[in-house]
Amino acid sequence: MDRNLPLSVTTLLHVRMRVNDIERTVSFYKDVLGLSEGRRIVSPRGSKIVYLTIPGSDTQIEVTEFHESGPVSVPPDLVHLAFEVSDMNETLARLKRLGVPITDGPTETSGSVFAFIDAPEGYEIELIAPKSRG
């Protein structure tokens, strides 16, 4: 194997996030962001795993609960997921109706508008809308 050649990665399949309360987290991603629940499994070591799918995408979020690893504590500004939304005004209105606070923004750039919310466990979510669409 030539160590100077890059890998031939073709697709991001999923991102794994460990959480303290899998049901609360799955509800957040389904009810607030509109992701759909795929399969649920329990791993051989006992981890509860739920795969969530982003509409119109093959990319998934793997949410895992495994209490034996200790409590999850996400430091501020460590990691975030970014999702495109079609209309920021509609998104902000929906979040307000759901009681989900905006933690930063909305902020306008030359081509987009973005805002942040927090998912359960402290994972940060960035919502981005093309400026021409809201």
Question: What is the structure's pLDDT at 106?
Answer: 95
Question: What is the structure's pLDDT at 96?
Answer: 95
pLDDT of 133 > 60? The answer is no
In 10 A of CB 90, how many CB atoms? 13
pLDDT of 4 > 80? The answer is no
More confident residue, 22 or 122: 22
Given 67, 86, 118, the domain boundary residue is 67
Range of the domain at 107: 76-134
Write the DSSP string, 96-109.
Answer: HHHT---SEEEEE-
Shared-domain flag, residues 88 and 116: yes
Shared-domain flag, residues 18 and 38: yes
Q: With contact defined as beta carbons under 8 Å apart, do 30 and 36 qualify? A: yes
What is the pTM (predicted TM-score) of this model?
0.85
Shared-domain flag, residues 106 and 131: yes
- What average pLDDT does the structure give for the chain? 90
Task: Give the model confidence (pLDDT) of 33-78 as tens digits.
Answer: 999 999 999 999 999 999 999 888 888 999 999 999 989 888 887 8
Q: With contact defined as beta carbons under 8 Å apart, do 125 and 119 qualify? A: yes
